[in-house]
Amino acid sequence: MKTIEITTSVKVYENLPELPVDFRNLMAAAKAAQQLAYAPYSDFRVGAAVALEDGRVLTGANQENAAYPMCMCAERVALGNANMEAPHVTITAMAVSVYNPRKTIAEPAAPCGACRQVICEQESRQNQPIPLILQGAEGPVYVIESGRDLLPIGFDKSFL
Ligand code: THU
């Protein structure tokens, strides 16, 4: 028997002004995208923004449905948007911000399990990690170098 140790590094910036300017701008786009959330059931608004290597920024927001399992998370909407609007263009970073009108979220919220899987697929597709920049409505910002860091021992095309 042996034990595998898995470690994840998270850079913690105390607030937005501490972030490098390109990440700060990407987070601003993620927050703006919350306006386009369709969240009549949860009222929870999530905005995501992806930076492309050609300089473009594309966004997504959560899109809910009366059939709850059909709800689409902001992260997957943003990735789908990028793959349609900018096919084969590498995504260099993704910012995600959440807003709950019932309470102030002052901690970063991390992508759900399904979104982690889809982010990892994107990384494998473009053969490059996607740094994730995460923030609540305010407060500290986490920067995680790759979606893979949030989904160790994941399932990928190597099994197929
Ligand atoms: N949601 C996201 O958009 N991203 C996440 O990473 C977590 C959850 C959305 C889905 C649903 O519309 C609402 O937040 C509440 O779960």
What confidence score (pLDDT) does residue 137 get?
Answer: 97
What confidence score (pLDDT) does residue 74 get?
Answer: 98
Q: Catalytic one among 5, 14, 18, 75?
A: 75
What confidence score (pLDDT) does residue 108 get?
Answer: 97
From CA 43, how far away is CA 100, in angstroms rounded?
7
- Residue 75 beta carbon below 6 angstroms from any ligand 1 atom: yes
pLDDT averages per 10-residue partition of the chain, 160 residues: 97 97 98 98 98 98 98 98 98 98 96 98 98 98 98 96
Report yes or no: 141 and 134 within 8 Å, Cβ to Cβ.
Answer: yes
Is 0.75 surpassed by the pTM of this model? yes
**CATH superfamily ID and name for 11-151:** Cytidine Deaminase, domain 2 (3.40.140.10)
What confidence score (pLDDT) does residue 23 get?
Answer: 98
**Hey, whose CA ends up nearest to atom 6 of ligand 1?**
111
- Residue 150 beta carbon below 6 angstroms from any ligand 1 atom: no
Q: Domain locations in the chain? A: 11-151
Closest by CA position to 13, among listed 101, 143, 104: 143
What confidence score (pLDDT) does residue 113 get?
Answer: 98
What confidence score (pLDDT) does residue 36 get?
Answer: 98
